[in-house]
Copies of this chain bind each other. A is one copy, B any other.
Amino acid sequence: MIRNDVLCSGAIIPQPDLVNIYGCEIGEGTKVAAFVEIGTGVVIGRNCKIEAFAFIPYGVTIEDDVFIGPHVCFTNDKYPPSGKITRTHVKRGAAIGAGAVIVCGVTIGERAKIGAGAVLLRNVADDEVVVGYAAQGLAESRWK
């Protein structure tokens, strides 16, 4: 369902019965596939593509022309279930590959590419490409 408190005029959401979208803002021309959850306070820009099974909770901001692959999972609590929300920002033109997990607190630069299956725990510069466990390796030092 798309709750009444969603601002999504001009967004393309072909399967409203199979999404869970509430309290957020989705820009014109952005396509949202089935099985997507977008939570309160999220802002998504224009002409993005949000693929199936993406999870975008409170605390995430996505600029224009961003690709969010299928099964991409954002988070908003670094040490769950602390309840302390940490923000994440995805800049215009970035692309996040299928199944990537984006641990909160990072900024992903303009036109950056996050490879499929990456586990991301650091900032990504404009035009940078981050893949596989290269991203995840950084996670290790940070979580231990």
Task: Report which A residues bind B (CB closer than 8 A).
Answer: 1, 15, 17-18, 20, 33-35, 37, 49, 52-53, 55, 57, 67, 69-71, 73-75, 79-81, 95, 97-99, 101, 103, 113, 115-117, 119, 121, 129, 131-134, 136-137, 139-140, 143-144
Contact = CB atoms under 8 A, between A and B. Distances in A.
So how many copies of this chain end up in the complex? 3
Contacts of A115: 139, 143
A119 B101 contact: no
A140 B129 contact: no
A113 B103 CA distance: 15
A95 B129 CA distance: 30
Contacts of A113: 79, 143
A125 to B, nearest CB: 14
A20 to B, nearest CB: 4
Given A37-B52, A79-B113, A129-B144, 6 more contacts: A20-B52, A70-B75, A71-B73, A113-B143, A132-B143, A133-B133
Contacts of A55: 52-53, 70-71, 98
A23 B129 CA distance: 34
19 contacts: A1-B17, A1-B18, A20-B35, A33-B37, A53-B55, A53-B71, A70-B75, A73-B98, A73-B99, A79-B95, A79-B113, A113-B143, A116-B139, A129-B144, A131-B144, A132-B133, A132-B136, A133-B133, A133-B140
